[in-house]
């Protein structure tokens, strides 16, 4: 059975990255790796996302590349074909979960309620994305979920920053957080890869207290 527990322990922050121009894919991935972040969740929100994903998978072997915003079984298959080493969905449906369990590729299903957590747990999975973390209740909500369901580890994502990350990372049921702040649009537009490396270095220095 697919188990994404190891994905949660690669870095304190999983950068959630949306790439418009595939020529930016490799420099972004290298900049993140140079800053010590060896994982990237590349969202399937642009037409060329799979091209970017393939380039990173082929050309930046020291970073683990996964596909985010996986909404359908077809997207999951296409991402795996392009080289995705893990998959992330913002929420979960029975159709998608049934399919993901057949792929053999680790994945983080998105959940936001106790019922959703229980539904995914029933299928034998204990690693999940908590999304959208900030609007859904933040660290206080996750701490409360951990009382009845301590066996689930979360990657909260959505509305998290370098400043708010420690509040999540301090929780026993959080192994990492996700966020898009490591790859600001302006830095990408200006080919400012050093800025991304600096943000990655700050993020990789966050500790799980």
Whether 181 contacts 18, CB under 8 Å? no
- From residue 153 to residue 172, what is the string marking binding to ligand 3PG with x (rule CB under 6 A)? ----xxxx------------
Residue 145 binding ligand 3PG, by CB under 6 A: no
Q: Which two tokens stand for residue 105?
A: 């590729």
- β-pairing, 64-68 vs 39-43, is parallel
- Which of 94, 116, 129, 189 is the catalytic position? 129
Residue identified by tokens 């309620």 is 113
Binding ligand 3PG by CB under 6 A: which of 109, 179, 187, 203? Answer: 179
The answer to whether residue 54 is catalytic is: no
Q: How far is the CB of 148 from ligand 3PG (least distance, A)?
A: 25
On whether the CB atoms of residues 103 and 74 are closer than 8 A, the answer is no
Contact set for ligand 3PG, span 105-144 (CB under 6 A): 131
Residue 4-43 contact track with ligand 3PG, rule CB under 6 A, x = bound: ------------x--------------------------x
Residues 6+ apart with CB under 8 A from 87: 66, 67, 68, 70, 76, 79, 80, 100, 103, 105, 106, 107, 108
Residues at the interface with ligand 3PG (CB under 6 A) = 16, 43, 68-69, 90, 131, 157-160, 178-180
User: Which residues are catalytic, by number?
Assistant: 41, 129
């Amino acid at each position: 059975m697919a188990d994404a527990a190891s994905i949660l322990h690669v870095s304190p922050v999983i950068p959630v990255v949306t790439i418009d121009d595939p020529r930016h894919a490799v420099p972004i991935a290298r900049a993140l790796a140079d800053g010590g972040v060896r994982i990237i969740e590349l969202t399937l929100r642009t037409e060329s996302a799979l091209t970017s994903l393939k380039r990173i998978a082929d050309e930046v072997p020291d970073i683990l590349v996964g596909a985010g915003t996986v909404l359908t079984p077809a997207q999951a298959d296409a991402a795996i074909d392009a080289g995705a080493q893990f998959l992330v969905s913002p929420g979960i449906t029975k159709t998608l979960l049934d399919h993901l369990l057949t792929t053999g590729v680790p994945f983080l299903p998105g959940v936001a309620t106790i019922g959703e957590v229980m539904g995914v747990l029933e299928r034998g999975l204990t690693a999940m994305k908590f999304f959208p973390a900030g609007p859904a209740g933040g660290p206080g909500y996750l701490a409360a979920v951990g009382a009845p369901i301590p066996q689930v580890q979360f990657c909260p994502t959505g509305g998290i920053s370098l400043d708010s990350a420690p509040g999540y990372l301090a929780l026993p049921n959080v192994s990492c957080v996700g966020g898009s702040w490591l790859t600001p649009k302006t830095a990408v537009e200006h080919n400012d890869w050093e800025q991304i490396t600096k943000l990655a270095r700050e993020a990789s220095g966050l500790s799980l207290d």
